Each structure stands twice: as structure tokens, then as C-alpha cells.
Structure 1
Amino acid sequence: MSWDFEHQKNVTAVTLNELRESGDLASGAMVTLDLEFLPVEGADAEACAKALKTFGYEVEVHEDGMIAASIDNVPLTLDGVWLQEERATKIVLDRGYEPDGWGFWEP
């Protein structure tokens, strides 16, 4: 099955718009973006973690196989978040993982 990147980006855009409209989004804020990925059939946690680290992500593999990846200094904009989200998603899909969401600590 191929991944629906257009849908994923649209969900990210809606989320950021909701944050902006609620006043919870500081314009131009830089954040540490946290991404979560869940294992599916054929998941290779070691290979996935290694690949994410190669691209500058801090990675933690949980006992249940979930992978948490973080990267600093991401502009809290659609382009900033999507650049990291799309890159990480492409990395993990090839290694048996799927995205499960993203978040950040308040700047």
C-alpha cells in the first residue's frame, strides 16, 4: 500500500491552522518537533533508528516497538513541520513503521 502524503500534509495544515486560530501558536516560533512512529509488519527498529539518527533526529525506541524521534530548531510553520514530517515518514515507511503523530513543547 502506498502512503497518502497529501492527506498527511493536509492534516498537518489543519492542525497548525487550529493552533494559530486558538492563539496557541507563536508566529515564527522555533520548536523541538517530536514525531512518533508505530511498527507494522516487517518493522526493523534498529535500522529505522539508525536511519533517523543519520538525518539528525534524536531517537528513542520503546519496549512496545514505538519509535519517538525529535529534532530541534524547527520553524512552527507548515513548511517547517512538513519538511521534517515528510522526511521522517519516508525514512520509516521503508523500515516497517508508520507515523502516529507529532507534537512539540510550548516555545
Structure 2
Amino acid sequence: MNEAHDFSAQRAETFAVFRNLNDSADLPEIADVDYFFVASEGEIDWPALADALAAEGYLCELVDETGEDAEAPYMVATLTEQPLSAEGIWIGEEIATRIALARGARPDGWGFSA
């Protein structure tokens, strides 16, 4: 696992972003929360990452676009029907991040849909 990862800073950012969203919009009480992961460097075994996340209850989708404007592949790990709060988002984010870091991926944000 990447010991250099700053979980305290990641948590603080998650709480700040949630606070800003909550202040500017009427958020749903329950939502599907998506966590995004990209390769740290080089090749990554995306199926192994998906399997490890799925074992913890995440639904996983690899987004691997093709074409001229395609971005690098990334994984979306979703927890469905979650109570929407900064703490709830963080708990799911921390678990998924630890799994991803151990498999060569790094976090790249989160989002949600009602």
C-alpha cells in the first residue's frame, strides 16, 4: 500500500466539498455514491481491483473509452442507496481508497446521484 497517501487531507477535502454542496443545494437523504479511481502509474489489473472492491459491496465499472478524445481508463466504484452525509461518503471513500492503493490505483474524486 502507498504509505505516502495523505488520508487526513483526503478526508478534510471530502468534508469541505460536501459542506459546500450542502450549503448550495437541497441534497437528497439517500443516494448512490460513486468513487473514482485512476492508475497510479503504469499498467493496473483492473479486474483484480474490481473483484476486491466488489467483495466489500461496491458495484464496479471500468470506463475505458476509445478514440481521439478518450481519457485514460478509470474505475467507478458505487455504493448504492447510501444515507448522504460527509461522514458516510468518507467511510466508503476510505475503504475503497485503501483497497485501490494496495492494487496500484489512486482516488480521483467522488460524486452521487439520487
TM-score by length of 2: 0.84
Identity %: 37
The code of the aligned residue for 2:107 comes to P
Query: Does residue 50 of the first structure (1) align with residue 58 of the second (2)?
Result: no
1:2-45 CA-to-partner distances (Å, cap 9, x unmatched) read 1100000111111111012113324xx11100111001235221
Unaligned runs of 5+ in 2: 65-71
**Once structures 1 and 2 are overlaid, which stretch shifts more, 96-105 or 68-77?**
68-77
In the TM superposition, residue 65 of structure 1 has moved relative to its aligned partner by 2.9
Partner in structure 2 of residue 71 of structure 1: 79
Q: Aligned pair count?
A: 104
Partner in structure 2 of residue 24 of structure 1: 26
**Distance in 2 of aligned mates of 1:65 and 1:23:** 31
RMSD across aligned positions (CA): 1.4
Contact kept, 8 Å, 1:58 with 1:70, in 2: the verdict is yes
**Once structures 1 and 2 are overlaid, which stretch shifts more, 34-43 or 4-13?**
34-43
Contact kept, 8 Å, 1:38 with 1:100, in 2: the verdict is yes
Unaligned runs of 5+ in 1: none
**Distance in 1 of aligned mates of 2:60 and 2:91:** 18
Contact kept, 8 Å, 2:34 with 2:111, in 1: the verdict is yes
The code of the aligned residue for 1:38 comes to V
Partner in structure 1 of residue 60 of structure 2: 59
Contact kept, 8 Å, 2:19 with 2:86, in 1: the verdict is no
The code of the aligned residue for 1:49 comes to A
**Distance in 1 of aligned mates of 2:83 and 2:93:** 12
